[in-house]
Structure 1
Amino acid sequence: MEFTVKEEKGFNYIEEGEGEVLLLLHGLMGALSNWEEVINEFKGRYRVIIPLLPIYDMPLLNTGVKGLANYVNKFVKFKKLNNVVLLGNSLGGHVALVYTVHHQENVKALLLTGSSGLYENSFGGSFPKRESYDFIKEKVEFTFYDPAIATKELVDDVFKTVNDRSKVIKILAMAKSAIRHNMAKDLNKIKIPVALIWGKDDKITPPEVAEEFNELLPNSELSWIDKCGHAPMMERPEEFNLLTNQFLEKIKNK
């Protein structure tokens, strides 16, 4: 990825373009590169910012969804951002929801794709065969409708991560926190516009999760992408960007 990661005051992030802020939050096993096609599409018209969430660097006691939402709050204050459009995938969507519940005055709109917060079918809370490359490959492929999206580079990266003992402890703590922190009772507090862009074949946060989000969020709209799994912005970037653009145009003057 050709984007420069900036380091300032303990924050690592990508920032491209100028204009209204799109703040992008990656998932638990995700990376900044997951949003590459989104950055390329919108950096000519928006100020696209992606903080690297410190999943592996937080103290164990603070390793959870709330801890990450607090980190996002510090980052937003540091960058003096307001009226942002917040986009989150998987755990990043969950963090976006928690942040918005507590700081709705800073958020113009939300876009969630494959978000946790209600239910997720993750690695199952453990890595019983984490030494097995084939097992990890199978799990990474499970993320997508088309297993070919799980490139060797992507599988290698996850395999390396889950075989790092200190990282796997943080991953399990974060996954358990996400399961515990169910958002169902808080979603009615989010009054801003919310776009739900979901893979029709998402096996991690299945279609019924999107439908429940749509029922519980007062001002939401749900769009489907066919033949697509848990990370639409990676697997179907053109369709994802088209739907994202339609939503951004709709809320432009609100």
Structure 2
Amino acid sequence: MIEKLIHFINNDLLEGAADDLDQNTPLLELGILDSLSMVLLLAHIDQQYGVKIPEHEINPEHFENVATLAALINQLSKDETAEAMPQQENVSELARLVKLQETYNIESQMVEVGGGLTQHALRVKGNGPLWVMLPALGNPSTSWSPLLRSVQNRHNAVALDLAGFGLTQSNKDNPSFKDHVNNTLQYLETIEEQEWVLIANSAGSMVAAEVARRFPEKVKALVITGFGLVEDVEGWWQGLKAMSKKPEEFLEAAYYNPPKLTPDLNNLLNEVLSRPAYHNFLDTHAKERISHIFDGITVPTLFIAGNHDQIVPPEWSEKAAESMEDASVVRLSRCGHFSASERPEEFIWVVEDFLMKINQKQNMASQTNNQEASMA
């Protein structure tokens, strides 16, 4: 079993990038198992060994390395009389992945915000303004889990599920762009922190931009990744919808080092990309807004562009920044559309450096004002 698990992780999840992987290699600490690959690994274990790992068994101890994982599978395979197993059959891989984040002191919250919306969020505690992370369309809040684990105890941060994806519950099966904006604002009204750093990926950037424009007094900074100025909206959207029907083509366009398209991943992508919530996001109103989504934004803005992003090329981020009052661009090498997932530590460093420069600029302006006041 150990050799088969090593083969699956190295060849199917990592595209052969870890030839030195053995039974003692620390999977979680080395970042080998990210949000997407963990979902695929759980599905593989279920199909290959007939074992559905229950929530309470998903913890760092059991996923420390291949040896501990194999021991868990063997234990669960033998324990045919376990009372908890039948109760776990309807638990989704996503719910189990959220459970794993909780073992890292990442808090999973279900927040009743009214209007038929129960917002799911992952939160960590730290210092300073709240980092509010909005995912790409179709991605759950766990797509930000590498960042959450890295920034906890340093920064306050929360990652949200968009309605129609993840664990957020809504009475609308086909939420539009406008619905997502309203949902996000409703949630932000429920939290204590009222100074935010908005960090958003892809279509989530449209939601973040709208919030920043409406509430500049609450938004310390806006960080956009995987998005920019879309000039041919209809052509871009039709191309993206066509690509959504070809998962392998989508992965090639989205990642610098795309994951192998296994049957499990193919099923997952087809399920997500075919959802009404995915196709309803860019309705008529959103299409009218998208070319002007960054107009009128005055808060300091940073675009983090993946050099190999073929969904939203980095040049589009540069065009957007040129059109704004206070915006800059950083390109990250060896990553595509999901730079925060492919290069999490570098991504965090860029964001922290950006925020440090904002603080320095604000401190200098404050000192200048004090000096002028004292001379008056």
Q: For the Cα contact (< 8 Å) 1:16–1:39, is it kept in 2?
A: yes
1:190 matched to which residue of 2? 297
Cα deviation for residue 159 of structure 1 reads: 2.2
For residues 245 and 152 of structure 1, what CA distance do their matches in structure 2 show? 38
User: Which amino acid in 1 is paired with 2:109?
Assistant: K
- Indicate the SS of the match to 2:341: helix
After TM superposition, the score normalised by the length of structure 1 is 0.84
Q: Deviations over 1:86-138 (max 9, x none)?
A: 000001111100111112222111000012563574573646984xxxx3233
1:22 matched to which residue of 2? 131
Identical-pair percentage: 22
- 1:32-47 to 2 correspondence within 5 Å? 32-47=141-156
Q: Deviations over 1:171-200 (max 9, x none)?
A: 11113454342242x534211111111001
- 1:199-214 to 2 correspondence within 5 Å? 199-214=306-321
1:243 aligns with 2:356: no
Q: For the Cα contact (< 8 Å) 1:113–1:196, is it kept in 2?
A: yes
Across the aligned residues of Structure 1 and Structure 2, the Cα RMSD in angstroms comes to 2.6
Q: For the Cα contact (< 8 Å) 2:252–2:258, is it kept in 1?
A: yes
- 1:226-241 to 2 correspondence within 5 Å? 226-241=333-348
For residues 220 and 322 of structure 2, what CA distance do their matches in structure 1 show? 20
- Indicate the SS of the match to 1:104: coil
1:158 aligns with 2:265: no
User: Which amino acid in 2 is paired with 1:46?
Assistant: H
2:59 matched to which residue of 1? none
Bigger relative CO (Cα 8 Å, ≥ 6 apart): 1
**Of 129, 147, 153, which aligns to 2:258?**
147
For residues 260 and 356 of structure 2, what CA distance do their matches in structure 1 show? 30
Q: For the Cα contact (< 8 Å) 2:223–2:302, is it kept in 1?
A: yes
Q: Deviations over 1:132-188 (max 9, x none)?
A: xxx32332332112123777765442222245xxxx22211113454342242x534
For residues 55 and 116 of structure 1, what CA distance do their matches in structure 2 show? 24
Q: 1:60 to 1:160 in 2, by over 3 A?
A: closer
For residues 260 and 358 of structure 2, what CA distance do their matches in structure 1 show? 32
For residues 229 and 187 of structure 2, what CA distance do their matches in structure 1 show? 22
For residues 170 and 193 of structure 1, what CA distance do their matches in structure 2 show? 31
1:124 matched to which residue of 2? 239
For residues 222 and 128 of structure 1, what CA distance do their matches in structure 2 show? 27
2:370 matched to which residue of 1? none
Q: For the Cα contact (< 8 Å) 2:124–2:148, is it kept in 1?
A: yes
- Indicate the SS of the match to 2:259: helix
| Worse-matched range after superposition: 34-43 or 119-128 | 119-128
Query: Which ranges of structure 2 fall in alignment gaps of 5 or more residues?
Result: 1-96, 103-107, 113-117, 363-376
Query: Which ranges of structure 1 fall in alignment gaps of 5 or more residues?
Result: none
How many residues end up aligned between the 2 structures? 244
Q: Deviations over 1:203-227 (max 9, x none)?
A: 1111221111111121111100123
Q: For the Cα contact (< 8 Å) 2:308–2:334, is it kept in 1?
A: yes
Q: For the Cα contact (< 8 Å) 1:125–1:175, is it kept in 2?
A: no
Q: For the Cα contact (< 8 Å) 1:94–1:117, is it kept in 2?
A: no
For residues 346 and 302 of structure 2, what CA distance do their matches in structure 1 show? 14
- Indicate the SS of the match to 1:195: strand
1:111 matched to which residue of 2? 223
For residues 162 and 216 of structure 1, what CA distance do their matches in structure 2 show? 31
